[in-house]
Structure 1
Amino acid sequence: MPQLDGGAHRMLTVGELAERSGVAVSALHFYERKGLLASERTSGNQRRYRRDALRRVAFIRVSQRVGIPLAEIRAALESLPEGRTPTKRDWARLSSHWREALDARIAALQHLRNDLTGCIGCGCLSLRTCTLQNPDDTLGGTGDGTGPRRWD
């Protein structure tokens, strides 16, 4: 049983975890509901977190910062043996897996940025040829008429 007093394996309250991680209590509760974080309950039904939850929260926040969806973060955490907290080696493996998707998103954003000038020039008055709404005029030959038919 985890020690809830001042022992070496003292667990953190939700307030302590929030303060030390810089993450709001409501976000910690959200992470728990989404299966990203686990707590234990005291006899008074108060949440207590193992100290390694700090590293887990840091992993979640960094992953979110680089644009990884919560579902993928959860899958990554679930892939770890016995639900352990990610190590430096785990981060290297998981982040290399995410790098390809990140590179693809960066390329798409650069393409979007480069096409933005043309969009400003047309003022979206020409949805048939707009490089943002209709890249490479992929909808031009469908015969569905002009105007907005699809928004990504």
Structure 2
Amino acid sequence: MIPSLRLNVDMKSRAASYAIGEIAQRFGLATHVLRHWESMGLIDPARVGGQRRYTDDDAYRVAAIIRGKQAGLSLEQIQQMITAADPAPRTAILRSRAKELEDRIAATRAALDLINSVLRCRHADFTQCPSFREAITREGTVAIVGSK
């Protein structure tokens, strides 16, 4: 028997369309959040019969907004990045945020190093521990008595 392929000529190509509640649930958001983002111009869902209808492109935009917020960007910064016709503003915003995160990571690493030096210390008073003192001096955040 020869295999056959059946073609449904009545099938129409149609983009996915989601109601506001579906998108909100998909991303764990309240619907008022999506309305707020719309009022800011961050998203612009189509209207069908007065109802907001979100496409897959809109879902990706929502995901980008969520990830931007997770990265510490404000909604205003995200809006500037999304609406900029020129990539220069987006680049400036992202470089600035990257620098802030790098500084924060360095400070967190220094704090972790200090904690680990105290954990390794066997002195009754860890402030007397040479390793702790070295870590404090290396960090340079504390004025050491006798230093000029």
TM-score of the pair, normalised by structure 1:
0.51
User: What amino acid sits opposite 2:94 in the alignment?
Assistant: W
Equivalent residues of 1:20, 1:54 under 8 A apart: no
Equivalent residues of 2:42, 2:79 under 8 A apart: yes
Report deviation, 1:34: 1.0
- Check 1:51–1:41 CA distance in 2 against 1; reply closer, same or farther (3 A cut): same
TM-score of the pair, normalised by structure 2:
0.52
SS at match of 1:32: helix
Consecutive unaligned residues of structure 2, counting only runs of 5 or more, are 1-11, 112-148
Match of 1:31 in 2: 37
- Check 1:10–1:108 CA distance in 2 against 1; reply closer, same or farther (3 A cut): closer
More helix by share: 2
Consecutive unaligned residues of structure 1, counting only runs of 5 or more, are 1-5, 82-89, 115-152
State the 4+ residue runs in structure 1 displaced beyond 4 angstroms. Answer: 94-97
Which whole-Å CA distance do the structure 2 matches of 1:8 and 1:21 have between them?
A: 23
- Check 1:55–1:80 CA distance in 2 against 1; reply closer, same or farther (3 A cut): farther
Percent sequence identity over aligned pairs: 25
User: What amino acid sits opposite 2:44 in the alignment?
Assistant: A
Q: Is residue 63 of structure 1 aligned with residue 68 of structure 2?
A: yes
- Check 1:38–1:100 CA distance in 2 against 1; reply closer, same or farther (3 A cut): same
Equivalent residues of 2:73, 2:97 under 8 A apart: no
Superposition CA RMSD, Å: 3.2
Q: Is residue 76 of structure 1 aligned with residue 72 of structure 2?
A: no
